[in-house]
Amino acid sequence: MIYPHNTEMDLSIAYALYFAARGPGSKQVLYTCPARVLLSGLGADELFGGYVRHATAFSRQGYAGLVDELLLDVGRLGKRNLGRDDRAMSHWSKEVRFPYLDERLVKWAIQTPAWEKCDFENGEDMTGVEACKRVLRLLALELGMESVAREKKRAVCLPTQPTNPRKLVLRLVKLTPQQIQFGARTAKMESGRVKGTALIS
């Protein structure tokens, strides 16, 4: 499912997508999601500076370094993410759509100056909106979605080698949409000593 990659992070992300796409879940009551088409936020972080490495690139080399990092991320989306994510979800005969990868939106995002997309120079603004993905957060604020606009980015950490697969499944089906977000820390396992880039033997 994660071929050609074999990292801890790829497997961790594939786990979550695989079980989330399955359909059954629990939020105080059991339910089954009948949706046949799923939406993925893939591309938002890569286009709008949502990763810690984007802030790091800015702190080291300013906006020129940030632009280079953003272009690198966008350029490797197809190889790094799309195949893995599509295979993980289509296993359950679900189709997946990637709204942030719409050609017109990608073109606009690439042409938009980095400081208009993510303002790392000024940090959190007076509205309480974080610098990362600032343009998306400001849009959410304008649409009246204040909690979304001010939501801190979080990552869900999943063990790649669970001792009890049943417990992993139960943990996954209880995730809320906000918890199924992935960042650089996604694949740090329960011990916290494993890096996402570590190869799976």
| pLDDT grade for 53, boundaries at 50, 70 and 90 | very high
pLDDT for residue 43 is more than 60: yes
Arithmetic mean of pLDDT over the chain = 81
pLDDT for residue 194 is more than 50: yes
Q: Tokens 């799309």 — which residue?
A: 82
Radius of gyration of the chain from its Cα atoms, rounded to whole angstroms? 17
The model carries a pTM of 0.76
Sorted by sequence, the CB contacts under 8 Å of residue 181 that are 6+ apart come out as: 41, 153, 154, 155, 156
CB 49 within 8 A of CB 66: yes
pLDDT for residue 174 is more than 50: no
Q: How far is the C-alpha of 192 from the C-alpha of 180, rounded, in Å?
A: 19
- Average of pLDDT values for 84-97? 92
| pLDDT grade for 113, boundaries at 50, 70 and 90 | very high
- Average of pLDDT values for 57-72? 96
| pLDDT grade for 191, boundaries at 50, 70 and 90 | low
- Give bridge partners of residue 29 from the DSSP assignment: 27
Closest to 109 in 3D by CA, of 161, 35, 45:
45
Q: Tokens 């990608």 — which residue?
A: 106
Coil, helix or strand at residue 199? strand
Per-residue pLDDT tens digits for 116-162:
999 899 887 777 788 999 999 999 999 999 988 888 766 544 443 44
| pLDDT grade for 192, boundaries at 50, 70 and 90 | low
Amino acid 160: pLDDT: 39
| pLDDT grade for 178, boundaries at 50, 70 and 90 | very low
The whole-angstrom distance between residue 124's C-alpha and the CA centroid of its chain comes to 21
